[in-house]
């Protein structure tokens, strides 16, 4: 039977990835049903910023993915061609204070959806948004699909459970399921609680004269910062493959939080000079010497992998994946969006 993508179910449609993916699918003429938490009003600022909140081919459905019965009922009713599972607990720092909730939100929900798909919607193809945190503190760099998995944070463990379940259900039951091993992927739609958006929003506020500095945690952590729309295009390519598989989605270039901050300030013409180390490190504006970045030891995590950088050769070869923005362009894109949001005639969002 020929498979066509006409209708997609996206869990977590109000998040950065869900909103971007929905916009791309709708632009292709694909109908979309997006889920949101039952007890909460849909936070649709991203969908509105993208101009798709009231799109005629977009529908909304309340779903708690930790409820196995609700997952079975929704998959059985909708019979979507594709399921993109993007919902869950997405903050590493938060997982340290609520590890069991993170396991349920990320690992348990994936098991529920896989079973719902297997039993009630066997034709549906599934893609999971996994994470580079499943690698922990790898000895191998860069990391690819063959790198040993050794999650070290509760968040990483929750994603490792989900990632492993995708492979197990694929092998045991023949489910068409793929795992996108996403390294840091950013955009102007990032939540302000994430360090990249925290930085770009602070830079925009400083440039507008609304603030004077930003306080950060570990400046030495090195991450592979990609552009989220590129990754969402790759997820669509994954669901279109004949068989499910696992793919690293990354740029192959690592940068520290310090380097990202430097690039973000440069986007508004502020050059930084860094002084000190550890909790005493500060960044001074080269012109005038004003402190623009400080470190707060309270923001340091119990464990923070020093280097995560991915090798996406397989995704380039099989999916046509190609990063479109370097670090400077990514930071500039995010800062410019935050500057625009701070304009007097714009309503607040994010």
Q: What is the pLDDT of residues 57-84, one digit of tens each?
A: 999 999 999 999 999 999 999 999 999 9
Fold designation for 195-220+256-306+330-341? UDP-galactose 4-epimerase; domain 1 (3.90.25)
Query: Which one is predicted more confidently, 274 or 92?
Result: 274
Q: Is 281 a catalytic residue?
A: no
pLDDT at 290 over 90: yes
Domain boundaries defined on the chain: 7-187+225-253+308-325, 195-220+256-306+330-341
For the residues 87-115, what does the mean pLDDT come to?
Answer: 78
Q: How confident is the model at residue 1 (pLDDT cuts 50, 70, 90)?
A: low
- DSSP for 179-245, please give it: EEEE--EE-TTS-TTSHHHHHHHHHHHHHTTS-S-EEES-SS-EE--EEHHHHHHHHHHHHTSSS--
All residues at 6 or more sequence positions from 56 whose CB lies less than 8 Å from its CB, including other chains? none
Select which of 133, 186, 227, 247 is catalytic. 133
pLDDT for 306: 60
Q: Is 133 a catalytic residue?
A: yes
Q: Quick one: DSSP state of residue 149?
A: P
Q: Provide CATH code, domain 7-187+225-253+308-325.
A: 3.40.50.720
Contact 101/57 with Cβ under 8 angstroms? no
For the residues 212-229, what does the mean pLDDT come to?
Answer: 95
Select which of 115, 145, 155, 173 is catalytic. 155
For residue 227, give both structure tokens.
């552009």
């Amino acid at each position: 039977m020929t498979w066509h993508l006409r209708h997609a179910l996206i869990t977590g449609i109000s998040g950065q990835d869900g909103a971007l993916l929905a916009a791309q699918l709708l632009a292709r003429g694909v109908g979309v049903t997006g889920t949101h938490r039952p007890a909460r009003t849909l936070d649709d600022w991203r969908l509105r910023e993208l101009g798709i909140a009231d799109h005629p081919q977009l529908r909304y459905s309340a779903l708690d993915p930790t409820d196995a019965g609700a997952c079975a009922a929704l998959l059985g009713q909708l019979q979507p061609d594709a399921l993109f599972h993007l919902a869950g607990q997405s903050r590493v720092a938060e997982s340290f204070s609520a590890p069991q909730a993170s396991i349920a939100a990320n690992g348990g929900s994936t098991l529920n959806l896989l079973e719902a798909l297997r039993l009630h919607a066997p034709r549906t193809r599934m893609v999971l948004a996994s994470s580079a945190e499943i690698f922990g503190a790898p000895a191998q760099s860069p990391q690819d699909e063959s790198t040993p998995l050794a999650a070290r944070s509760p968040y990483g463990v929750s994603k490792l459970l989900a990632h492993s379940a995708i492979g197990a259900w694929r092998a045991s039951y023949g489910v068409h399921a793929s795992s996108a091993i996403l390294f840091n992927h950013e955009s102007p739609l990032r939540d302000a609680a994430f360090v990249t958006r925290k930085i770009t929003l602070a830079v925009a506020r400083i440039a507008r004269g609304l603030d004077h500095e930003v306080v950060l945690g570990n400046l030495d952590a090195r991450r592979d910062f990609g552009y989220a729309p590129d990754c969402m295009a790759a997820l669509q390519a994954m669901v279109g493959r004949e068989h499910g598989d696992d793919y690293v989605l990354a740029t192959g270039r690592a940068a520290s939080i310090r380097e990202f901050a430097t690039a973000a300030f440069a986007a508004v013409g502020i050059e930084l000079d860094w002084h000190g180390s550890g909790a005493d490190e500060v960044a001074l504006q080269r012109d005038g010497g004003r402190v623009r970045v400080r470190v707060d030891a309270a923001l340091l995590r119990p464990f923070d992998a020093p280097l995560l950088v991915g090798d996406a050769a397989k995704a380039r070869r099989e999916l046509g994946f190609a990063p479109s923005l370097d670090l400077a362009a990514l930071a500039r894109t995010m800062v410019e969006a935050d500057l625009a949001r701070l304009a007097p005639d714009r309503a607040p969002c994010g």
